[in-house]
Amino acid sequence: MNSASKDKKHKWIKAVAKSFSYAAEGLVSSAKTERNLKIHLAVMPLIAACGFIFSISKAEWLIVIIVIGGMIALELMNTAVERVVDLVTDQYHPLAKQAKDIAAAAVLVYAITAILIGVIIFLPKIIASMGL
């Protein structure tokens, strides 16, 4: 590999590392300040524990992981929308309200979907473990 290729690869690695650093900063910042994200992050280990306790299948684990990741990602997007709206205007505007409400609605729809998926995966296992 020649010197120019090494420099290009090194710059690319630094750029990727910087991108990951910014993303981690956003996640940590949001986890410290956003109530709903704190709730989702607190529930994650409980769901994982249920997965181990009830010995969910590999396919069920994949679904649970995708749902949890999607929930966290959507909550972060909602937070980003709120921040951008707040940056653009500090005064009430119907479009600003709509933007925030629509982003929050997306989170709500996904949360309801996540709960339904959780019920479908875990309820039969809970019932079976109770001998019903």
| Residue 6 counted as an annotated binding residue | no
Which ranges of the chain does DSSP label H, i.e. alpha helix?
A: 3-33, 35-53, 58-88, 94-129
| Residue 38 counted as an annotated binding residue | no
| Residue 22 counted as an annotated binding residue | yes
| Residue 7 counted as an annotated binding residue | no
Catalytic hit among 40, 67, 75, 85: 75
| Residue 82 counted as an annotated binding residue | yes
b vs e for 56-92, b when ≥16 Cβ sit within 10 Å of the residue's Cβ? beeebeebbeebbeebbebbbebbebbeebeeeeeee
In the residue annotation, 25 being an active-site residue is answered as no
Annotated binding residues for substrate, written as ranges, equal 75
- Kindly list the catalytic residues: 75
Annotated binding residues for a divalent metal cation, written as ranges, equal 34, 82
Annotated binding residues for ATP, written as ranges, equal 22, 34, 82, 100-101
